[in-house]
Amino acid sequence: MTSYSSIMSKISDVKILCIGDIMLDKFIYGKVNRISPEAPVQVLNLKNTKEMLGGCGNVVANLASLGCQTDYIGIVGNDANGRKISKLLKSANCHFHLLKLDDYSTIVKSRFIAGNNHILRVDEEEKLPIMQNLLPQYQRILERAVKNVDIVLLSDYNKGLFTNETTQLIINTCKKYGKKVIVDPKGKDYTKYSGATFVKPNLKEFQEATGIEINPLNKKDFSEKIKLGAKKLFNECNIENIMVTMSEHGILYISSSEPEKITWLPTEAREVFDVSGAGDTTIAVFTLALALGLDTIDAMKWANLAAGIVVGKVGTACVSLAELEKAIRNNSLSDNSEHSSKIVTLENAKNIVEDLKLKGKVIGFTNGCFDIMHLGHLHSFAEAKKNCDCLIVGINSDKSVKRLKGDSRPLQDEITRSSLVAALMYVDYVVLFDDDTALPLIQELKPDVIAKEGYEIENWPEAQLVVSYGGKAITLPRLEGYSTTNFVNKLKELTHV
């Protein structure tokens, strides 16, 4: 994949309009240690609760997290949960217009989670009242919004907003102003999406809409069935392009202009913790990429990388611009090598640590510049790994190394150093940091164990912090005769011989 740093810098200028069913997502986290004596059910010991934007709101949150200008039009109840959604939209820096109905209750979905396991979901919802009397007001709002944005995204959760009449009103308004329309669909009838630029069902939704049973593992007739289903939607529903997300089987694209050609990208997921909201992330990043001027295939690659990030998080999650940039860079420089997925952002590392701790795993940490990998480093990683289930290695960025070692260092850039460390069997994750010390990383990750060679606790602030909250600090034995400085000095001597 090509480098798109110049394109990424234009994200803040992009303006995207989201229209769709919005809801409040609640995540109730806890631990299950016993079965209830009252009935054969698990007892969840409540730890904490999070409230997030759900449905189309999660698409909005993803776009806002990526730094583009995001507008939203939607409907909620005139109630406490509707007001919570309004506050969450404001917090996401989204410009929005909410129609608040007195005879309608805001949709709420509550998920009860023990560790990584969803043990129960409780839905509070009702179908949206008939939109007919709201259409004149809705059309005025729509006209003003559409003409001022770059692209329009429709997120249909089948809650009553997207009737044939309202959907065609939206698509025709977009056509009037020359705006592409990207649709995340629901239901079996795609005729209401007639005129849409892209429609993105998942595999199950594609099968329901076409009536064709498709198995990605059956290589013999998979492609033919996909083409058959796509042609049916092209002919009957007047859709320009179809993109199908297939979970662990990746993502594919087929156009009405070339119905015999299928582009299929494999999944980018590392380890799937939670698929909640993965489709929202995919459609958000794909739409953003198109708005930035990327072609369809590269936009798919961005979306695929983003989906691979978000399924590694717990709960309805967003992808940040920093995570997306790093994924694109790693994908390009390492050609999707196996170990590149171990290089994570601090935000993603925090999610990983939180999840592993809920599972009772011991988190270990060490750090350094690792400018020239040698046997001493390998020895330290092996010893550190003996004291934990998951070893996270903090690596000084190029800027940090220059401040600490001088302008002649590092000898190898941060991507090379990170990739070499991530390739080691003892290392589970690598996190780059710009600070002079790893103290800010420790404050965020709160590992159970910190291990490093040659440091005594009284001269080791990171270790003092770990010990202060009940963790363990280990001074590793040094393997004498090995250091990057010694190697550099020997090289200097050789060049002057």
CA 123 to chain centre: 24
253-259: long-range contacts (C-beta < 8 A, 24 or more apart)?
253/296, 253/297, 253/300, 254/226, 254/227, 254/230, 255/296, 256/230, 259/227, 259/230, 259/231, 259/234
Which is the catalytic residue, given 21, 156, 280, 448? 280
Tokens of 300: 């798919």
Cα 54 from Cα 407, distance rounded (Å):
48
Asked about 25 being catalytic, the answer comes back as no
DSSP secondary structure string for all residues of 136-193? HHHHHHHHHHHTTSSEEEEE--SSSS--HHHHHHHHHHHHHTT-EEEEE--SS--GGG
Tokens of 106: 């805001």
Closest CA to 346 of 435, 462, 240, 281: 435
CA 459 to chain centre: 38
Tokens of 244: 């199908």
Closest CA to 182 of 205, 162, 201, 199: 199
Q: How many residues does the chain have?
A: 497
The DSSP bridge partners found for residue 20 are 155
Cα 389 from Cα 450, distance rounded (Å):
13
Decide if 450 contacts 471 (C-beta within 8 A).
yes
Cα 433 from Cα 24, distance rounded (Å):
34
Angular region, 446: left φ>0, alpha ψ -120 to 50, beta rest: left
Q: Where are the alpha helices (DSSP H) in 375-460?
A: 375-385, 398-405, 414-422, 439-445
Distances (CA, A) of 414 to 325, 409, 421, 441: 15, 11, 11, 17
Cα 233 from Cα 256, distance rounded (Å):
9
Angle at alpha carbon of residue 96, lines to 90 and 100, rounded to 5°: 100
Cα 100 from Cα 97, distance rounded (Å):
9
Residues assigned a catalytic role: 280
